[in-house]
Amino acid sequence: MNLPDSIQSLINALERMPGIGPKSASRLAFYLLRAPDDLSLSLALALTELKTKTAFCQECFNITDAGRDRCDVCESRKRDGAVVCIVEESLDVLALERTGAFNGKYHVLQGVLNPIEGIGPDDLKIKQLVARVAKGEIKEVILATNPSMEGDATALYLQGQLKPYGVHVTRLARGLPMGGDLEYADQNTLQRALSGRQDM
């Protein structure tokens, strides 16, 4: 049996989402078919607005509402513009904001260096970061890319790029998770925690 085109195209589109396979895609499509109209309509609306009503902040490249040049954080007078935290994705900003412990500003790279996937420095917001630092107001740059091979490489690359500007560059500490059990920590983490130990 061939499905009507409208259903099949929805299934195809859903299948392209990360974490969704062919089965989940058809289940979602048929669920929407049976569900009250307002669910699919509000979903459709949300999807169209997703692209039209959002934009990237022209300073930190975090996501913000369309029509605005700068995001809330960049506009805020309470935030310390001398400290900038560099993250890979907008979601990382969200995670750091939840801590409530950071009062500086952000810069979202929108990815990491990954030659296998063809992502080089020009594909990231690195030039824009260097331009921000070149203005001279930033005193400290915190490199908060993920502690992965690619995240580390990106951090190293940024360090090289920022060196000429004499800005203080730091890297997020790495080590044991809170509430973690030393015994069950994986060796890699433990090794890094050991080499990054601090005076008390």
Partner 1 sequence: MYLKHLSLTNFRTFTRLDLKIPQREIVLVGKNAQGKTSVLEAIYFLAAFTSFQTNTDRQMVNFYEAKKNTLGISRLVAEYKRGKSDHRIEVRLILEPMGVNGQRLRKEILLDGVKKQAGDVIGHFNAVIFVPQMSAIMDGSPDERRRYINLAISQSNPAYARALSDYQQALTQRNALLKALSENGGDRNQLSVWDEAIARLGAQIILWRIEAIQQIEKLASRVHHDLTHESETLRLAYEPAYDPLPKPSGQLGLRLDTPIDRTGLDVKEIQKGFSEKLIELRSEEIARGVTTIGPHRDELRFLANGVDLGEYGSRGQIKTTLLSLKLAEVEWLKERTGEWPVILLDEVMAELDLERRADLLKYVGKSEQVLFTTTDLNLFPREFSDSSEVWDVHDGTISLKNK
What are the residues binding partner 1 (CB under 8 A)?
113-116, 118, 120-121, 149-150, 152-154, 156-157, 160, 184, 186-188, 191
Residues 28 and 23: their CA atoms lie apart, in Å, by 9
Nearest approach, Cβ of residue 161 and partner 1 (Å): 9
In terms of CB distance, is 51 or 184 closer to partner 1? 184
Of the pair 102, 165, the CB lying nearest partner 1 is at 165
In the complex, minimum distance from the CB of residue 67 to partner 1, in angstroms, rounded to a whole number: 35
CB of 174 to partner 1, least distance (A): 14
Strand-pairing partners, residue 65, are: 54
Largest CA distance in the chain: 70
The burial of 175, by beta-carbon neighbours within 10 Å (0-12 exposed, 13-18 middle, 19 or more buried), is given as middle
Nearest to 84 by CA among 147, 122, 128: 128
Q: How far is the CB of 57 from partner 1 (least distance, A)?
A: 26
Residue 188 DSSP one-character state? H
Q: Nearer to partner 1 by C-beta: 120 or 136?
A: 120
Shortest Cβ distance from residue 185 to partner 1 (Å)? 10
Rank residues 120 and 166 by Cβ distance to partner 1 and give the closer one: 120
CA distance 53 to 45: 11
CB of 153 to partner 1, least distance (A): 4
Question: Residues 138, 168: contact at Cβ < 8 Å?
Answer: no
Name the one residue in this structure whose structure tokens are 């970061």.
129
Indicate the residue among 40 and 189 with the shorter CB distance to partner 1.
Answer: 189
Compare residues 114 and 128 and give the one whose CB is closer to partner 1. Answer: 114
* CA atoms within a 13 Å half-sphere pointing along the CA-CB vector of 172: 19
Which residues on neighbouring strands pair with residue 104, listed in sequence order?
80
Q: How far apart are the first and last CA of the chain?
A: 70
